[in-house]
Structure 1
Amino acid sequence: MSPRTLAFVESPVQLLNVLEWAHARGHTADRAPGPGGTASGARPESGLTLVVLSPTDPMSRGQLRRMAQLARDEGHEVRWEEARGGAGAPLRTIGGLAGPLRRAARVVMGDPFSRYVQLLLTITRARELVVVDDGTATMEFVGQLARGERLVRWHRKGGRRGPRDLVLGPVSAVARRRLTPRGERRRVEVFSSMPIDETPQGVTVTANRFAWTRARFGPPAVIAGADLVGTSLVETGVVDADRYVDAVRALARAHGAIRYFAHRRESTEKLHRLAVETGLQIVRPELPLELIARRGPIGRTILSFPSTVVHTLPLALAGTEVRVTVCDIEPSWLTAHASPRAQGFLSGVTGTARDVHRLARTAQAG
């Protein structure tokens, strides 16, 4: 029997948010958590199949493996695809998914900007499409859809379109049309913990409150001191590496931070430099930070640059003593290659965050 719902994920956070969506929709079996906070006694069938379009970097793969097991504990089927395992992998993956995709009544996706997902959207006949959070990019996606713009990631917007963009442009255009509601013929939902100001006509926006995370984990032990959350803004070419290291050092000194929770895309070289120059203990989390923080122990203060976690951690940690504090990105930290859109977007991420404390610019400088 073909699953009624297919969900495509390419990152641990996307998989987490599919689990949150499934919980909100009632796809999760009703039972108490087992030892260590994981669920036990799950139903064997929930009508949801999670398709992992596996990335190549080891950090993401490791987190995805652990998240996939949590999904199985919830009673969901997980299909692991080595979608990037060689030159012929994309053709094999899409060919193998074409049948189930055409028969699925609902398609859930974590990244509508993904070329892989956009290709799959050209195949589906599903009458219901759901976009769950892929971090702050969801805010940009909804705005672009509302304005009828082409789908392009915020840190690339304003840059020159390369040959690959031109070749795949028609695919992106079809994906955008697929993600445009058409009454009863096609319903589109955005399931998000992000603030969404521009709601496209006909799109249903449902709030992600991280109810599954709070039900399955914690509450955490809260310890004295601060933890610092890393970002991949250096790796994406937005922030200068030297300025970033200086900012982390100043924050750690000012707030007595001990641990630095690395983003899964941060380079080994940068993390080594941070450890040497700041004295911070570098932690590579085995799960998305929302789950790590909820399981604890976690510092009484969490310091973060503008990123998804300034929106999600207050929800995951609701009812605890933990305070999330955000440090703005100074314009002088941006690289010469940063998109003209970068500063405004990052400021918007910070400015729209709820239940967080903002550092004054003088405090950031240390």
Structure 2
Amino acid sequence: MNGSSPGVEDGRDHAREQGSAVAWVESPLQMLCAVEAHHAGLLGTHARVIPRAGLRPLVVTRREITKLGPPAGLELAEPSPEMPRPRRGTTWAVGDAFSGKVQAAWLTALPGRIVIVDDGLATIRLLELLTGRFWTPLLRARATSGPLRKALGSAAGMRLRAAAHAGGLSIFTALPVPDDLARAVRERGAELVTHDFAWLRSQPMRRPGPRERTVVLGTSLVRNGLIHRDHYFGWLAGLGSTGPVAYFPHRREDPGDLARVGEQPGITVYDGGAPAEMTLRGLGAEQRVLSLPSTAVTSLRVLLSARGVVVETVDVPDEWWTAQAAPSLRTHLSMFAHHDTGVTG
């Protein structure tokens, strides 16, 4: 990815200055990217990664990373029900920049350096808001926020922009950031470091992937009310009728929906948990991955291109979308729509 090497070198310079860091992670992708950020040198000589308690996918991901052997100087702490309060002046890494608890901590605990790792499409929204006006609030897309929440989002936005101006903000991402947006982020003073999962790519394969030729990544778009269930399940049924399909659930999929997926002829639902980047990196050239627009598409292409595996983004027809799918959301998702495939599979 463009800018990867210079960013990593800058991160190593920071490591000599920082010493140590704490990372608070709430999703498998956040955990994996915190490990990659430490490997790249952004988190100092010692990093403590603390996963949020009560989330099975984080337990599975922590176990898989432990089996591989984390990078030197990285500690995978036991899950915690409470977000740690960063000590003043230390480096603090997070994924969810729109969390109210995280934003309050930026304002009250005053960490010395802030590192933000990937949290799916929300990372791109954060970059867009970061380059907005100084008082633009940091709020989730499609969220309905009251006056107090908007005030916190505005204060957090000003704090983050001030940190960027002072050279105290790094964003570590594997996502395809448009050139004009990347330029605007750097003009704000933030360090934008792109990566290609260097640590994960260097790890030996512990187990082969599924044997089915076609692998489908699950989606949160159904549960979030953005696409119609019947259209989605009709597409899956068509895929299953043409040959065996391995289905890897999205962590936010509804259990009832997953049960329905498993009832489709020809489709086997695999146990989810760890990120697709870890689970599917052993696929072979005779296999293909299909996915609705998703951040996993980008990272899997990086990890699987050398193995000859085609990772295809399904072009979502207009009639699939519900009224809740705003044009801005579709525009955001379109950045992952390269090497598209039709819904017929």
Fold in common (TM above 0.5): yes
Q: Deviations over 1:295-336 (max 9, x none)?
A: 457961111110011110011224102110110222211223
What residue number does 1:170 align with? Answer: 151
User: For the Cα contact (< 8 Å) 1:9–1:15, is it kept in 2?
Assistant: yes
User: For the Cα contact (< 8 Å) 2:58–2:273, is it kept in 1?
Assistant: no
What residue number does 1:212 align with? Answer: 199
Q: Deviation at 1:257?
A: 4.3
What residue number does 2:213 align with? Answer: 225
Q: Percent identity?
A: 27
User: For the Cα contact (< 8 Å) 2:218–2:248, is it kept in 1?
Assistant: yes
Q: What is the TM-score with the length of structure 1 in the denominator?
A: 0.77
What residue number does 2:46 align with? Answer: 47
1:9 to 19, 25, 29: 25
Give distance in 1, aligned partners of 2:104 and 2:314.
37
Q: Deviations over 1:136-179 (max 9, x none)?
A: 2211211121123422333x16xxx24xx433222222221222
| Count of paired positions | 318
**Structure-2 change in CA distance of 1:365 and 1:258 (3 Å):** closer
Q: Deviation at 1:27?
A: 6.6
Give distance in 1, aligned partners of 2:170 and 2:102.
16
**Structure-2 change in CA distance of 1:288 and 1:119 (3 Å):** same
User: For the Cα contact (< 8 Å) 1:136–1:349, is it kept in 2?
Assistant: no
**Structure-2 change in CA distance of 1:212 and 1:61 (3 Å):** closer
Structure 2 residue 231 is matched with structure 1 residue 243: yes
2:118 to 118, 133, 157: 133
Q: Deviations over 1:202-259 (max 9, x none)?
A: 12111111111110133985756211111111111211111111122234445x3421
What residue number does 2:96 align with? Answer: 111
1:289 to 252, 276, 281: 276
User: For the Cα contact (< 8 Å) 2:93–2:117, is it kept in 1?
Assistant: yes
SS of alignment partner, residue 213 of structure 2: strand
Give distance in 1, aligned partners of 2:164 and 2:269.
49
Give distance in 2, aligned partners of 1:17 and 1:195.
15
Q: Deviations over 1:241-288 (max 9, x none)?
A: 11111122234445x342101111111110111121343000123421
Q: Deviations over 1:91-144 (max 9, x none)?
A: xx35xx33xx13342111111122232222222323321111112221121112
284-293 or 265-274, larger mean C-alpha shift = 284-293
- CA RMSD, aligned part only? 2.9
Q: Deviation at 1:342?
A: 2.5
Unaligned stretches of 5+ in structure 1? 29-45, 84-92, 352-356
User: For the Cα contact (< 8 Å) 1:219–1:320, is it kept in 2?
Assistant: no
Give distance in 1, aligned partners of 2:307 and 2:192.
27
2:76 to 70, 75, 78: 78
103-112 or 296-305, larger mean C-alpha shift = 296-305
121-130 or 133-142, larger mean C-alpha shift = 121-130
**Aligned letter for 2:39?**
H
Q: What is the TM-score with the length of structure 2 in the denominator?
A: 0.81
What residue number does 2:290 align with? Answer: 303
2:173 to 192, 215, 224: 192
**Structure-2 change in CA distance of 1:236 and 1:5 (3 Å):** same
Q: Deviation at 1:184?
A: 7.0
Give distance in 1, aligned partners of 2:125 and 2:224.
16
Q: Deviations over 1:36-71 (max 9, x none)?
A: xxxxxxxxxx421112233x454x343344256359
SS of alignment partner, residue 281 of structure 1: strand
SS of alignment partner, residue 319 of structure 1: helix
Structure 1 moving runs of 4+ over 6 Å: none
Give distance in 2, aligned partners of 1:183 and 1:304.
35
Unaligned stretches of 5+ in structure 2? 1-17
120-129 or 139-148, larger mean C-alpha shift = 120-129
SS of alignment partner, residue 341 of structure 1: helix
Give distance in 2, aligned partners of 1:73 and 1:219.
14
User: For the Cα contact (< 8 Å) 1:227–1:258, is it kept in 2?
Assistant: yes
